[in-house]
A and B are shown apart, each in its own frame.
Chain A
Protein backbone atom coordinates (compact mmCIF):
# COMPACT_ATOMS: atom_id res chain seq x y z
CA UNK A 1 0.00 0.00 0.00
CA UNK A 2 1.09 3.60 -0.58
CA UNK A 3 1.39 5.50 2.70
CA UNK A 4 1.30 9.23 3.15
CA UNK A 5 3.47 10.71 5.88
CA UNK A 6 1.92 13.34 8.15
CA UNK A 7 4.33 15.38 10.24
CA UNK A 8 3.80 18.24 12.68
CA UNK A 9 6.76 19.90 14.36
CA UNK A 10 7.09 21.64 17.71
CA UNK A 11 10.20 23.75 17.99
CA UNK A 12 11.45 25.06 21.32
CA UNK A 13 13.33 28.21 20.48
CA UNK A 14 15.56 29.76 23.11
CA UNK A 15 15.13 33.53 23.04
CA UNK A 16 18.28 35.66 23.10
CA UNK A 17 17.51 37.66 26.24
CA UNK A 18 20.16 38.66 28.80
CA UNK A 19 18.04 37.60 31.75
CA UNK A 20 15.50 34.87 32.38
CA UNK A 21 11.84 35.06 31.52
CA UNK A 22 10.61 35.48 35.11
CA UNK A 23 13.75 36.41 37.08
CA UNK A 24 16.80 38.66 36.83
CA UNK A 25 19.28 35.75 36.57
CA UNK A 26 21.69 35.67 33.65
CA UNK A 27 21.15 33.24 30.77
CA UNK A 28 24.78 32.94 29.65
CA UNK A 29 25.58 29.51 28.23
CA UNK A 30 28.23 27.38 29.89
CA UNK A 31 28.40 29.06 33.32
CA UNK A 32 29.43 26.94 36.33
CA UNK A 33 26.46 24.85 37.59
CA UNK A 34 23.80 26.70 39.59
CA UNK A 35 25.62 30.04 39.54
CA UNK A 36 22.79 31.53 37.44
CA UNK A 37 19.91 30.19 39.49
CA UNK A 38 18.21 32.70 41.77
CA UNK A 39 15.62 32.19 44.49
CA UNK A 40 12.87 32.50 41.86
CA UNK A 41 14.47 29.85 39.64
CA UNK A 42 14.90 27.59 42.65
CA UNK A 43 11.24 28.04 43.65
CA UNK A 44 12.05 29.29 47.13
CA UNK A 45 8.87 29.95 49.14
CA UNK A 46 7.26 33.32 48.48
CA UNK A 47 9.15 34.06 45.29
CA UNK A 48 7.07 35.58 42.50
CA UNK A 49 7.67 35.66 38.76
CA UNK A 50 7.88 38.99 36.88
CA UNK A 51 7.71 38.80 33.10
CA UNK A 52 10.65 39.96 30.96
CA UNK A 53 9.52 42.59 28.42
CA UNK A 54 12.12 41.45 25.89
CA UNK A 55 10.65 37.95 25.79
CA UNK A 56 7.23 39.44 24.95
CA UNK A 57 8.81 41.69 22.32
CA UNK A 58 10.68 38.80 20.69
CA UNK A 59 7.53 36.66 20.59
CA UNK A 60 5.63 39.52 18.90
CA UNK A 61 8.48 39.98 16.42
CA UNK A 62 8.20 36.32 15.49
CA UNK A 63 4.43 36.60 15.14
CA UNK A 64 4.76 39.59 12.82
CA UNK A 65 7.50 37.77 10.89
CA UNK A 66 5.05 35.03 9.91
CA UNK A 67 2.04 37.33 9.57
CA UNK A 68 0.30 35.67 12.52
CA UNK A 69 -2.47 36.94 14.73
CA UNK A 70 -0.92 38.58 17.79
CA UNK A 71 -2.50 37.75 21.14
CA UNK A 72 -3.25 41.22 22.46
CA UNK A 73 -4.23 39.61 25.74
CA UNK A 74 -2.33 36.44 26.54
CA UNK A 75 -2.47 34.36 29.68
CA UNK A 76 0.10 32.19 31.44
CA UNK A 77 -0.89 28.78 32.75
CA UNK A 78 0.68 26.18 34.98
CA UNK A 79 1.60 22.88 33.39
CA UNK A 80 1.90 20.46 36.27
CA UNK A 81 4.36 17.58 36.47
CA UNK A 82 7.02 16.39 38.86
CA UNK A 83 10.63 16.16 37.87
CA UNK A 84 13.67 17.23 39.91
CA UNK A 85 14.87 19.72 37.30
CA UNK A 86 11.56 21.57 37.66
CA UNK A 87 11.68 22.83 41.26
CA UNK A 88 8.21 24.42 41.34
CA UNK A 89 6.48 21.21 40.28
CA UNK A 90 4.98 23.08 37.35
CA UNK A 91 6.21 24.85 34.26
CA UNK A 92 4.83 28.30 33.53
CA UNK A 93 3.57 28.13 29.97
CA UNK A 94 0.65 29.40 27.88
CA UNK A 95 -2.26 27.13 27.05
CA UNK A 96 -5.55 28.72 26.00
CA UNK A 97 -4.41 32.22 25.10
CA UNK A 98 -0.94 32.14 23.50
CA UNK A 99 0.89 35.32 22.51
CA UNK A 100 1.06 34.24 18.85
CA UNK A 101 -1.93 32.72 17.09
CA UNK A 102 -2.38 31.24 13.64
CA UNK A 103 0.04 32.22 10.90
CA UNK A 104 1.59 30.99 7.71
CA UNK A 105 5.19 30.44 6.83
CA UNK A 106 6.44 30.26 3.27
CA UNK A 107 9.53 28.12 2.83
CA UNK A 108 11.76 27.91 -0.25
CA UNK A 109 12.56 24.38 -1.47
CA UNK A 110 15.75 23.24 -3.21
CA UNK A 111 14.01 23.01 -6.59
CA UNK A 112 13.24 26.73 -6.57
CA UNK A 113 9.56 26.38 -5.65
CA UNK A 114 8.04 27.39 -2.33
CA UNK A 115 5.67 25.69 0.09
CA UNK A 116 3.48 27.26 2.76
CA UNK A 117 3.34 25.61 6.18
CA UNK A 118 0.57 26.59 8.58
CA UNK A 119 1.72 27.67 12.04
CA UNK A 120 -0.87 26.73 14.64
CA UNK A 121 0.48 28.91 17.43
CA UNK A 122 3.57 30.03 19.30
CA UNK A 123 3.64 30.52 23.04
CA UNK A 124 6.05 31.69 25.72
CA UNK A 125 7.25 29.37 28.44
CA UNK A 126 10.18 28.74 30.73
CA UNK A 127 12.81 26.07 30.21
CA UNK A 128 13.55 23.45 32.87
CA UNK A 129 16.93 22.74 34.44
CA UNK A 130 19.28 19.95 33.44
CA UNK A 131 19.56 16.49 34.97
CA UNK A 132 22.91 14.75 34.86
CA UNK A 133 22.63 11.01 35.29
CA UNK A 134 26.35 10.25 35.31
CA UNK A 135 27.84 8.66 38.32
CA UNK A 136 26.97 10.66 41.40
CA UNK A 137 27.04 7.60 43.68
CA UNK A 138 23.77 6.41 42.19
CA UNK A 139 22.19 9.85 42.49
CA UNK A 140 21.21 12.43 39.90
CA UNK A 141 22.91 15.85 39.68
CA UNK A 142 20.73 18.90 39.00
CA UNK A 143 21.92 22.13 37.35
CA UNK A 144 19.28 24.86 37.40
CA UNK A 145 21.15 27.43 35.30
CA UNK A 146 18.84 26.74 32.38
CA UNK A 147 15.68 26.78 34.52
CA UNK A 148 13.66 29.85 33.59
CA UNK A 149 15.39 30.51 30.26
CA UNK A 150 12.74 31.98 27.94
CA UNK A 151 11.46 29.66 25.23
CA UNK A 152 9.10 30.27 22.35
CA UNK A 153 7.37 27.02 21.43
CA UNK A 154 6.39 27.13 17.75
CA UNK A 155 3.83 24.55 16.65
CA UNK A 156 3.05 23.69 13.01
CA UNK A 157 -0.09 22.20 11.54
CA UNK A 158 0.33 18.54 10.52
CA UNK A 159 1.13 19.68 6.99
CA UNK A 160 4.69 18.48 6.52
CA UNK A 161 4.95 15.45 4.22
CA UNK A 162 8.58 14.32 4.23
CA UNK A 163 11.91 14.47 6.02
CA UNK A 164 13.20 16.87 3.35
CA UNK A 165 10.26 19.24 3.91
CA UNK A 166 10.78 19.10 7.66
CA UNK A 167 14.42 20.06 7.24
CA UNK A 168 13.53 22.83 4.77
CA UNK A 169 11.02 24.19 7.32
CA UNK A 170 13.57 24.12 10.14
CA UNK A 171 16.23 25.81 8.01
CA UNK A 172 13.80 28.56 7.04
CA UNK A 173 12.73 28.96 10.64
CA UNK A 174 16.37 29.16 11.70
CA UNK A 175 16.96 31.77 9.02
CA UNK A 176 13.92 33.81 10.11
CA UNK A 177 14.70 33.87 13.84
CA UNK A 178 18.35 34.75 13.31
CA UNK A 179 17.37 37.55 10.87
CA UNK A 180 14.99 38.81 13.53
CA UNK A 181 17.79 38.48 16.09
CA UNK A 182 15.40 36.87 18.59
CA UNK A 183 17.56 33.75 19.02
CA UNK A 184 21.20 32.88 18.43
CA UNK A 185 19.94 29.72 16.68
CA UNK A 186 22.85 27.75 18.10
CA UNK A 187 21.57 24.21 17.74
CA UNK A 188 24.59 22.55 19.31
CA UNK A 189 23.86 24.52 22.49
CA UNK A 190 20.19 23.58 22.38
CA UNK A 191 18.84 26.97 21.26
CA UNK A 192 16.52 25.21 18.80
CA UNK A 193 15.14 21.82 19.83
CA UNK A 194 12.56 19.94 17.88
CA UNK A 195 9.79 17.48 18.77
CA UNK A 196 8.45 15.49 15.80
CA UNK A 197 4.87 14.21 15.66
CA UNK A 198 4.60 11.62 12.93
CA UNK A 199 1.89 9.32 11.61
CA UNK A 200 1.12 7.47 8.41
CA UNK A 201 -2.16 7.05 6.56
CA UNK A 202 -3.14 5.32 3.32
CA UNK A 203 -2.45 7.72 0.47
CA UNK A 204 -5.60 9.55 -0.59
CA UNK A 205 -7.35 9.31 2.79
CA UNK A 206 -7.85 12.23 5.15
CA UNK A 207 -8.24 10.66 8.57
CA UNK A 208 -5.10 10.94 10.69
CA UNK A 209 -3.34 7.74 11.79
CA UNK A 210 -2.02 7.10 15.29
CA UNK A 211 1.05 9.22 15.85
CA UNK A 212 4.24 8.91 17.80
CA UNK A 213 6.22 11.80 19.20
CA UNK A 214 10.00 11.93 18.93
CA UNK A 215 11.40 14.28 21.55
CA UNK A 216 14.28 16.71 21.66
CA UNK A 217 16.07 16.31 18.36
CA UNK A 218 18.67 19.04 18.07
CA UNK A 219 20.20 19.06 14.60
CA UNK A 220 18.88 19.27 11.04
CA UNK A 221 20.65 16.05 10.16
CA UNK A 222 19.21 14.14 13.13
CA UNK A 223 15.71 15.42 12.32
CA UNK A 224 16.07 14.02 8.82
CA UNK A 225 17.43 10.69 10.03
CA UNK A 226 14.91 10.34 12.85
CA UNK A 227 12.01 10.97 10.45
CA UNK A 228 13.32 8.52 7.85
CA UNK A 229 13.80 5.90 10.51
CA UNK A 230 10.37 6.43 12.06
CA UNK A 231 8.61 6.31 8.65
CA UNK A 232 10.33 2.97 7.94
CA UNK A 233 9.44 1.61 11.39
CA UNK A 234 5.77 2.60 11.16
CA UNK A 235 5.51 1.32 7.56
CA UNK A 236 6.85 -2.09 8.63
CA UNK A 237 4.33 -2.34 11.46
CA UNK A 238 1.37 -1.27 9.31
CA UNK A 239 2.33 -3.50 6.37
CA UNK A 240 2.47 -6.44 8.76
CA UNK A 241 -1.07 -5.59 9.81
CA UNK A 242 0.05 -4.24 13.18
CA UNK A 243 -1.08 -1.17 15.12
CA UNK A 244 0.97 1.91 16.01
CA UNK A 245 1.12 2.59 19.73
CA UNK A 246 0.76 6.26 20.62
CA UNK A 247 3.90 6.94 22.62
CA UNK A 248 6.91 9.17 23.07
CA UNK A 249 10.09 7.94 21.47
CA UNK A 250 13.69 9.07 21.70
CA UNK A 251 16.04 9.33 18.74
CA UNK A 252 19.38 7.68 19.40
CA UNK A 253 21.85 9.27 16.97
CA UNK A 254 24.57 6.72 17.71
CA UNK A 255 22.45 3.76 16.69
CA UNK A 256 20.31 5.73 14.22
CA UNK A 257 17.06 4.45 15.65
CA UNK A 258 14.11 5.67 17.67
CA UNK A 259 13.10 3.78 20.75
CA UNK A 260 10.27 3.96 23.19
CA UNK A 261 10.89 6.02 26.33
CA UNK A 262 10.02 3.89 29.32
CA UNK A 263 6.33 4.57 29.53
CA UNK A 264 5.33 6.45 32.62
CA UNK A 265 3.21 4.58 35.11
CA UNK A 266 0.54 7.20 34.73
CA UNK A 267 0.05 8.83 31.36
CA UNK A 268 0.77 12.56 31.12
CA UNK A 269 -2.00 14.70 32.46
CA UNK A 270 -0.71 18.19 32.97
CA UNK A 271 -3.83 19.64 34.62
CA UNK A 272 -3.29 23.12 33.17
CA UNK A 273 -4.82 26.03 35.04
CA UNK A 274 -4.27 29.81 34.90
CA UNK A 275 -1.09 30.88 36.70
CA UNK A 276 -2.34 32.88 39.69
CA UNK A 277 1.07 34.52 40.21
CA UNK A 278 0.93 36.34 36.88
CA UNK A 279 -1.69 38.73 35.58
CA UNK A 280 -2.81 38.54 31.97
CA UNK A 281 -0.36 40.22 29.58
CA UNK A 282 -2.05 42.98 27.64
CA UNK A 283 -0.30 44.76 24.80
CA UNK A 284 -1.74 47.53 22.66
CA UNK A 285 -1.75 48.33 18.96
CA UNK A 286 0.90 51.04 19.40
CA UNK A 287 3.29 48.53 20.99
CA UNK A 288 2.81 46.12 18.08
CA UNK A 289 3.09 48.92 15.50
CA UNK A 290 6.37 50.07 17.08
CA UNK A 291 7.80 46.57 16.77
CA UNK A 292 6.54 46.19 13.22
CA UNK A 293 8.26 49.43 12.22
CA UNK A 294 11.59 48.08 13.45
CA UNK A 295 11.46 44.71 11.70
CA UNK A 296 14.44 44.12 9.40
CA UNK A 297 14.01 42.88 5.83
CA UNK A 298 13.17 39.19 6.30
CA UNK A 299 14.68 36.23 4.41
CA UNK A 300 11.73 35.66 2.06
CA UNK A 301 11.57 39.33 1.06
CA UNK A 302 15.31 39.44 0.61
CA UNK A 303 15.34 36.27 -1.48
CA UNK A 304 12.68 37.66 -3.77
CA UNK A 305 14.55 40.95 -4.04
CA UNK A 306 17.77 39.12 -5.02
CA UNK A 307 15.90 37.53 -7.91
CA UNK A 308 14.21 40.78 -8.94
CA UNK A 309 17.05 43.25 -8.43
CA UNK A 310 20.07 41.14 -9.34
CA UNK A 311 18.56 38.58 -11.73
CA UNK A 312 19.81 35.65 -9.59
CA UNK A 313 18.34 32.17 -10.02
CA UNK A 314 15.86 31.05 -7.34
CA UNK A 315 18.47 28.63 -5.99
CA UNK A 316 21.29 31.18 -5.80
CA UNK A 317 18.94 33.67 -4.16
CA UNK A 318 17.94 31.04 -1.59
CA UNK A 319 21.52 30.17 -0.70
CA UNK A 320 22.66 33.79 -0.51
CA UNK A 321 19.70 35.06 1.53
CA UNK A 322 19.69 32.13 3.95
CA UNK A 323 21.63 33.88 6.63
CA UNK A 324 21.83 37.55 7.31
CA UNK A 325 25.63 37.81 7.50
CA UNK A 326 26.05 36.03 4.17
CA UNK A 327 23.36 38.15 2.50
CA UNK A 328 24.99 41.33 3.85
CA UNK A 329 28.40 40.13 2.66
CA UNK A 330 27.06 39.34 -0.81
CA UNK A 331 25.43 42.76 -1.11
CA UNK A 332 28.64 44.46 -0.01
CA UNK A 333 30.55 42.57 -2.74
CA UNK A 334 27.94 43.68 -5.29
CA UNK A 335 28.32 47.28 -4.08
CA UNK A 336 32.08 47.10 -4.56
CA UNK A 337 32.14 45.48 -8.02
CA UNK A 338 28.64 46.15 -9.39
CA UNK A 339 28.35 42.76 -11.11
CA UNK A 340 25.81 40.75 -9.09
CA UNK A 341 26.13 37.51 -11.03
CA UNK A 342 29.88 37.45 -10.75
CA UNK A 343 29.60 38.32 -7.06
CA UNK A 344 27.06 35.49 -6.56
CA UNK A 345 29.39 32.97 -8.21
CA UNK A 346 32.45 34.04 -6.30
CA UNK A 347 30.70 34.16 -2.94
CA UNK A 348 29.14 30.74 -3.41
CA UNK A 349 32.04 28.90 -5.02
CA UNK A 350 35.28 30.47 -3.81
CA UNK A 351 34.29 32.11 -0.55
CA UNK A 352 31.91 29.44 0.80
CA UNK A 353 34.30 26.76 -0.49
CA UNK A 354 37.20 28.22 1.48
CA UNK A 355 35.04 28.79 4.57
CA UNK A 356 33.85 25.17 4.48
CA UNK A 357 37.28 23.69 3.86
CA UNK A 358 38.83 25.67 6.68
CA UNK A 359 35.75 25.38 8.93
CA UNK A 360 35.75 29.13 9.37
CA UNK A 361 32.69 31.21 10.19
CA UNK A 362 31.86 33.96 7.73
CA UNK A 363 32.34 36.56 10.46
CA UNK A 364 35.96 35.36 10.79
CA UNK A 365 36.64 35.37 7.05
CA UNK A 366 40.13 36.72 6.33
CA UNK A 367 38.78 38.26 3.11
CA UNK A 368 36.37 41.13 3.71
CA UNK A 369 33.49 41.78 1.29
CA UNK A 370 34.99 45.04 0.03
CA UNK A 371 38.29 43.27 -0.70
CA UNK A 372 36.58 40.50 -2.64
CA UNK A 373 34.69 43.20 -4.54
CA UNK A 374 38.04 44.86 -5.29
CA UNK A 375 39.35 41.60 -6.74
CA UNK A 376 36.30 41.15 -8.97
CA UNK A 377 36.74 44.69 -10.24
CA UNK A 378 40.16 43.67 -11.57
CA UNK A 379 38.55 40.85 -13.56
CA UNK A 380 35.91 43.20 -14.89
CA UNK A 381 38.39 45.87 -15.99
CA UNK A 382 40.55 43.27 -17.76
CA UNK A 383 43.52 43.56 -15.40
CA UNK A 384 43.49 39.84 -14.64
CA UNK A 385 41.72 36.76 -15.93
CA UNK A 386 39.27 34.70 -13.85
CA UNK A 387 41.91 32.01 -13.52
CA UNK A 388 44.56 34.35 -12.17
CA UNK A 389 41.91 35.84 -9.87
CA UNK A 390 41.59 32.48 -8.13
CA UNK A 391 45.31 32.57 -7.37
CA UNK A 392 44.97 36.12 -6.06
CA UNK A 393 42.00 35.10 -3.91
CA UNK A 394 44.05 32.26 -2.46
CA UNK A 395 46.80 34.74 -1.57
CA UNK A 396 44.25 37.16 -0.06
CA UNK A 397 42.95 34.28 2.04
CA UNK A 398 46.50 33.70 3.29
CA UNK A 399 46.59 37.33 4.41
CA UNK A 400 48.96 38.65 1.74
CA UNK A 401 47.01 41.88 1.36
CA UNK A 402 44.54 43.42 -1.04
CA UNK A 403 43.97 42.19 -4.59
CA UNK A 404 45.84 45.15 -6.07
CA UNK A 405 48.82 44.67 -3.77
CA UNK A 406 49.06 40.97 -4.65
CA UNK A 407 48.67 41.57 -8.39
CA UNK A 408 51.42 44.18 -8.16
CA UNK A 409 53.78 42.14 -5.96
CA UNK A 410 53.47 39.01 -8.07
CA UNK A 411 53.37 40.86 -11.42
CA UNK A 412 50.12 39.15 -12.33
CA UNK A 413 48.66 41.99 -14.29
CA UNK A 414 47.27 40.76 -17.55
CA UNK A 415 49.36 41.73 -20.57
CA UNK A 416 47.08 43.93 -22.64
CA UNK A 417 49.90 45.81 -24.27
CA UNK A 418 49.56 44.78 -27.90
CA UNK A 419 53.27 45.36 -28.64
CA UNK A 420 54.35 42.82 -26.03
CA UNK A 421 51.62 40.42 -27.06
CA UNK A 422 52.52 40.73 -30.70
CA UNK A 423 56.07 39.62 -29.97
CA UNK A 424 54.74 36.58 -28.12
CA UNK A 425 52.35 35.74 -30.93
CA UNK A 426 55.15 36.00 -33.50
CA UNK A 427 57.32 33.75 -31.42
CA UNK A 428 54.63 31.10 -31.16
CA UNK A 429 53.88 31.20 -34.85
CA UNK A 430 57.58 30.90 -35.67
CA UNK A 431 58.05 28.01 -33.27
CA UNK A 432 55.19 25.92 -34.71
CA UNK A 433 55.52 25.85 -38.49
CA UNK A 434 53.79 22.48 -38.87
CA UNK A 435 50.66 23.73 -37.06
CA UNK A 436 50.73 26.90 -39.13
CA UNK A 437 50.66 24.79 -42.29
CA UNK A 438 47.78 22.73 -40.95
CA UNK A 439 45.94 25.90 -40.01
CA UNK A 440 46.32 27.43 -43.41
CA UNK A 441 45.19 24.23 -45.14
CA UNK A 442 42.15 23.76 -42.87
CA UNK A 443 38.55 24.84 -43.36
CA UNK A 444 36.54 27.10 -41.05
CA UNK A 445 35.57 24.70 -38.27
CA UNK A 446 38.93 23.06 -38.02
CA UNK A 447 40.65 26.42 -38.10
CA UNK A 448 38.81 27.48 -34.97
CA UNK A 449 40.08 24.42 -33.22
CA UNK A 450 43.65 25.02 -34.35
CA UNK A 451 43.45 28.64 -33.35
CA UNK A 452 42.73 27.36 -29.84
CA UNK A 453 46.08 25.59 -29.91
CA UNK A 454 47.90 28.83 -30.68
CA UNK A 455 45.98 30.74 -28.01
CA UNK A 456 46.95 28.06 -25.50
CA UNK A 457 50.61 28.38 -26.46
CA UNK A 458 50.56 32.15 -26.08
CA UNK A 459 48.79 31.90 -22.72
CA UNK A 460 51.42 29.40 -21.63
CA UNK A 461 54.34 31.56 -22.65
CA UNK A 462 52.74 34.55 -20.88
CA UNK A 463 52.20 32.40 -17.75
CA UNK A 464 48.48 32.98 -18.09
CA UNK A 465 48.77 36.73 -18.03
CA UNK A 466 47.97 37.51 -21.63
CA UNK A 467 44.57 39.07 -22.23
CA UNK A 468 42.75 36.21 -24.02
CA UNK A 469 40.45 38.24 -26.31
CA UNK A 470 43.41 40.30 -27.44
CA UNK A 471 45.50 37.19 -28.08
CA UNK A 472 42.69 35.74 -30.16
CA UNK A 473 42.42 38.87 -32.16
CA UNK A 474 46.16 39.13 -32.81
CA UNK A 475 46.53 35.48 -33.76
CA UNK A 476 43.64 35.57 -36.17
CA UNK A 477 45.07 38.66 -37.80
CA UNK A 478 48.64 37.35 -38.03
CA UNK A 479 47.65 33.94 -39.36
CA UNK A 480 45.26 35.65 -41.78
CA UNK A 481 48.13 37.70 -43.16
CA UNK A 482 49.98 34.49 -43.94
CA UNK A 483 46.95 33.22 -45.73
CA UNK A 484 46.96 36.12 -48.16
CA UNK A 485 50.76 35.82 -48.52
CA UNK A 486 50.29 32.44 -50.10
Chain B
Protein backbone atom coordinates (compact mmCIF):
# COMPACT_ATOMS: atom_id res chain seq x y z
CA UNK B 1 0.00 0.00 0.00
CA UNK B 2 1.53 3.25 -1.09
CA UNK B 3 1.55 6.20 1.23
CA UNK B 4 2.41 9.68 0.09
CA UNK B 5 4.53 12.08 2.04
CA UNK B 6 1.74 14.69 2.21
CA UNK B 7 -0.48 12.15 3.96
CA UNK B 8 2.20 11.61 6.58
CA UNK B 9 2.51 15.36 7.01
CA UNK B 10 -1.23 15.62 7.54
CA UNK B 11 -1.37 12.78 10.07
CA UNK B 12 1.59 14.28 11.92
CA UNK B 13 -0.25 17.58 12.09
CA UNK B 14 -3.44 15.93 13.40
CA UNK B 15 -1.42 14.04 16.02
CA UNK B 16 0.62 17.17 16.88
CA UNK B 17 3.87 15.35 16.15
CA UNK B 18 6.70 17.38 14.69
CA UNK B 19 8.76 15.53 12.11
CA UNK B 20 11.96 17.22 11.04
CA UNK B 21 12.20 17.84 7.30
CA UNK B 22 15.25 15.58 7.04
CA UNK B 23 13.41 12.65 8.66
CA UNK B 24 10.26 12.87 6.60
CA UNK B 25 11.43 10.54 3.84
CA UNK B 26 12.52 7.85 6.31
CA UNK B 27 9.31 8.10 8.38
CA UNK B 28 7.23 7.78 5.22
CA UNK B 29 9.16 4.66 4.14
CA UNK B 30 8.78 3.01 7.56
CA UNK B 31 5.06 3.64 7.74
CA UNK B 32 4.74 2.31 4.19
CA UNK B 33 6.41 -0.93 5.36
CA UNK B 34 3.94 -1.28 8.24
CA UNK B 35 1.04 -0.68 5.89
CA UNK B 36 2.47 -3.31 3.57
CA UNK B 37 2.23 -5.83 6.40
CA UNK B 38 -1.39 -4.77 6.99
CA UNK B 39 -2.01 -5.21 3.29
CA UNK B 40 -0.87 -8.82 3.50
CA UNK B 41 -3.39 -9.39 6.31
CA UNK B 42 -6.12 -7.90 4.11
CA UNK B 43 -5.81 -10.94 1.87
CA UNK B 44 -7.51 -13.09 4.54
CA UNK B 45 -11.23 -13.53 3.98
CA UNK B 46 -12.94 -12.06 7.06
CA UNK B 47 -16.45 -11.84 5.66
CA UNK B 48 -17.74 -14.27 8.28
CA UNK B 49 -15.79 -12.81 11.19
CA UNK B 50 -17.50 -10.33 13.48
CA UNK B 51 -15.46 -7.16 14.02
CA UNK B 52 -13.68 -7.23 17.36
CA UNK B 53 -13.90 -4.23 19.66
CA UNK B 54 -11.68 -5.70 22.34
CA UNK B 55 -9.36 -8.75 22.50
CA UNK B 56 -10.71 -9.82 25.89
CA UNK B 57 -13.68 -12.11 25.85
CA UNK B 58 -15.41 -10.03 28.49
CA UNK B 59 -17.95 -7.30 28.79
CA UNK B 60 -17.86 -4.01 30.62
CA UNK B 61 -18.53 -3.63 34.30
CA UNK B 62 -20.89 -0.85 35.29
CA UNK B 63 -20.54 1.22 38.45
CA UNK B 64 -23.43 2.62 40.49
CA UNK B 65 -24.15 6.33 40.05
CA UNK B 66 -22.56 7.67 43.23
CA UNK B 67 -20.14 10.51 43.94
CA UNK B 68 -16.98 8.89 45.27
CA UNK B 69 -14.36 11.54 44.47
CA UNK B 70 -13.42 14.37 46.82
CA UNK B 71 -12.22 17.76 45.72
CA UNK B 72 -8.45 17.43 45.19
CA UNK B 73 -8.00 20.69 43.31
CA UNK B 74 -5.23 21.95 45.54
CA UNK B 75 -3.15 18.81 45.01
CA UNK B 76 -3.73 18.76 41.24
CA UNK B 77 -3.03 22.45 40.80
CA UNK B 78 0.21 22.22 42.78
CA UNK B 79 1.77 20.46 39.79
CA UNK B 80 0.15 22.67 37.10
CA UNK B 81 2.43 25.17 35.33
CA UNK B 82 -0.03 28.05 35.74
CA UNK B 83 -3.32 28.53 37.60
CA UNK B 84 -5.49 31.49 38.48
CA UNK B 85 -8.81 31.74 40.33
CA UNK B 86 -9.02 27.94 40.34
CA UNK B 87 -8.57 27.73 36.56
CA UNK B 88 -5.74 26.03 34.70
CA UNK B 89 -4.06 28.55 32.40
CA UNK B 90 -2.98 27.49 28.92
CA UNK B 91 -1.67 29.38 25.91
CA UNK B 92 -4.46 31.31 24.24
CA UNK B 93 -6.67 29.19 21.99
CA UNK B 94 -9.24 30.69 19.70
CA UNK B 95 -11.29 28.36 17.59
Contacts and interface: CB of A to CB of B under 8 A. Distances in A.
A141 interface: yes
Nearest to A278: B60
B89 A42 contact: no
Interface stretch (A23-31, A308-316, A363-371, A401-409): A23-31
A34 B86 contact: yes
Contact of B72 (A39, A264, A271): A39
Contacts of A433: none
A84 B90 contact: yes
A19 B87 contact: no
B66 A133 contact: no
Interface in A152-173: none
A361 B80 CA distance: 43
Contacts of A17: 65
Given A19-B66, A35-B71, A131-B93, A141 B85 contact: yes
Contacts of B14: 80, 266, 269, 271
A132 B87 contact: yes
A35 B95 contact: no
A455 B84 CA distance: 76
A33 B87 contact: yes
B49 interface: no
Contact of A50 (B54, B56, B61): B61
A355 to B, nearest CB: 33
Interface string A88-130: 0000000011000000000000000000000000000000000
B58 interface: yes
Contacts of A264: 95
A438 interface: no
Interface stretch (A52-60, A188-196, A218-226, A326-334): A52-60
Interface in B9-32: 10, 13-14, 16
A339 B4 CA distance: 77
A151 B68 CA distance: 20
Interface string B30-63: 0000000000000000000001011010111111
Contacts of A140: 89-93
Nearest to A274: B53
A475 interface: no
Interface in A1-52: 17-19, 23-26, 32-39, 42, 50-52
B77 A34 contact: yes
Is the contact region of chain B dominated by helix, strand, or loop, or is it mixed?
loop
Contact of A53 (B56, B65, B85): B65
Nearest to B95: A261
Interface in A270-300: 271, 274, 276, 278-282
Contact of A19 (B62, B65, B72): B65
B53 A139 contact: no
Given A50-B61, A53-B65, A138 B92 contact: yes
Interface residues of B, number: 38
A368 to B, nearest CB: 32
Contacts of A139: 82, 89-92
Contacts of B73: 34-35, 37
A75 interface: yes
A144 interface: yes
A38 B60 CA distance: 21
A65 to B, nearest CB: 19
A143 interface: yes
A142 B68 contact: no
A278 B56 CA distance: 11
* Interface hub of A264, A265, A274 (most chain B Cβ within 10 A): A274
A141 B54 contact: no
Nearest to A130: B87
A266 B84 contact: no
A279 B63 contact: no
B87 A52 contact: no
B1 to A, nearest CB: 17
B50 to A, nearest CB: 10
Given A75-B53, A279-B54, A142 B76 contact: no
A50 B89 CA distance: 28
Interface of B: 10, 13-14, 16, 51, 53-54, 56, 58-69, 71-73, 76-77, 82, 84-95
A-B pairs, 6 with minimum CB distance: A24-B68, A141-B87, A54-B65, A33-B86, A53-B62, A279-B60
Given A39-B76, A50-B62, A52-B65, 16 more contacts: A24-B69, A33-B87, A35-B71, A36-B71, A53-B62, A96-B51, A136-B87, A139-B82, A139-B91, A140-B91, A140-B93, A142-B90, A144-B88, A264-B95, A279-B53, A282-B59
